[in-house]
Structure 1
Amino acid sequence: MATASPNILVVEDDRETRALIAKYLRSNACNVTTATDGREMVKAMADHRVDLLILDVMLPGEDGLSLCRKVRAQSQTPIIMLTARGEDVDRILGLEMGADDYLAKPFNPRELLARINAVLRRQAAAQTASAINGATALTFLGWRIDFRLRELRNPAGARVAMTSAEFDLLRTFCERPGRVLSRDSLLDLTQGRSAGSFERSIDVLVSRIRRKIETDPLEPTMIKTVRSGGYLFTPTVDAVTIPING
């Protein structure tokens, strides 16, 4: 596993599917907690450290997409959605709600484990990789992206909520300002290919980031689209070393 004995929370109302996932993950060195609905999920997240959340879309009471959006508003815990539908529109909707990955039912437990590994590897790499010239943070146009805390603050100093995938993509842009980055390269740098990522997911993430940092997301000036090329991060980026007690 990418993280030694990660704590996985499985939210799935189908008893057989829930038991199958829990049994397989436990046999592969995961600590697993289970829940059947949103209420149990909230309690489990309050009682246990959760390194990754596996969340079914179709749940009794509040559905998984709504729960995903609420979790993402308060936490950067990685989320993998499970859905009975496999169309692109449903996958994109899950990404819009803040999910880091998705998996359509029925699925092979080995594929779920591979996706868990991929998400946890990306998070661990982003947390430990050195930034520009060894900096612990970067600034651009008054914004500050802090790699230690994995947080973004606006020019007023307020924290801006971001998903793990959004943070990783914005960090990739900040570390490569002034360069045209193709969707393929952005996928390779942030998500990898083993998880079955697709180019449209980069467009979705860019759109979400623009809504958070651009004055006018419809006329972006920081993350520009390059026709037949990809994207270009235009601001000047400066490295900042934040004291450990800072």
Structure 2
Amino acid sequence: MPRKIPASRSATTGFFAASRQVLNAAGQEVPLTTAEYNILHVLARHKGQVLCRDEIIALSKGRDWRCYERSVDGLISRLRRKLQPQDGTSHFIKTVHGTGYTIAPL
């Protein structure tokens, strides 16, 4: 069962506005699917905290929503591609092996 996690106060990461399903990557607006938006929003609200797949699912869709945990991995991969700077530098969304995902500090 996922642990209760307090949300951080800001849901804005500097390039992602919670009010829209787009992000600003390299000066261009990039559209997000609803699932991508939900996951990025959850990670932004819990910036600096490591969330496991179950927590990401519960916080983005609710505890009763059923999906494969690996679906989160696929969505994270798609988000990383959309967030990837053209110079190929490291990912904004970090994997904490054996634990989950977090948004890296800028």
- Common fold: TM-score over 0.5: yes
Instruction: Give the secondary structure class of the aligned counterpart of 2:91.
Output: coil
Percent identity at matched positions?
Answer: 34
Mapping 1:1-246, distance limit 5 Å: 133=9, 138-140=12-14, 144-156=15-27, 158-215=28-85, 220-236=90-106
Higher-Rg structure is: 1
Does the 8 Å contact 1:191/1:197 carry over to 2?
A: no
CA distance 1:149–1:233, shift in 2 (3 Å):
closer
Does the 8 Å contact 1:210/1:220 carry over to 2?
A: no
CA distance 1:181–1:132, shift in 2 (3 Å):
closer
Determine the C-alpha separation between the residues in 2 that align with 1:167 and 1:224. Answer: 17
4+ residue segments displaced more than 6 Å: none
- Point out which structure has higher relative CO (alpha carbons under 8 A, 6+ apart): 2
Q: CA deviation at 1:206?
A: 0.2
Determine the C-alpha separation between the residues in 2 that align with 1:168 and 1:205. Answer: 10
Determine the C-alpha separation between the residues in 2 that align with 1:155 and 1:204. Answer: 22
Q: TM-score with structure 2 length normalisation?
A: 0.77
Q: CA deviation at 1:192?
A: 2.6
Determine the C-alpha separation between the residues in 2 that align with 1:173 and 1:235. Answer: 12
Instruction: Give the secondary structure class of the aligned counterpart of 2:94.
Output: strand
Instruction: Give the secondary structure class of the aligned counterpart of 1:139.
Output: coil
Determine the C-alpha separation between the residues in 1 that align with 2:20 and 2:77. Answer: 23
Aligned-partner residue type, residue 138 of structure 1:
T
Does the 8 Å contact 1:180/1:229 carry over to 2?
A: yes
Q: Which residue pairs with 1:17 in the alignment?
A: none
| Greater share of residues in helix | 1
Q: TM-score with structure 1 length normalisation?
A: 0.36
CA distance 1:223–1:197, shift in 2 (3 Å):
same
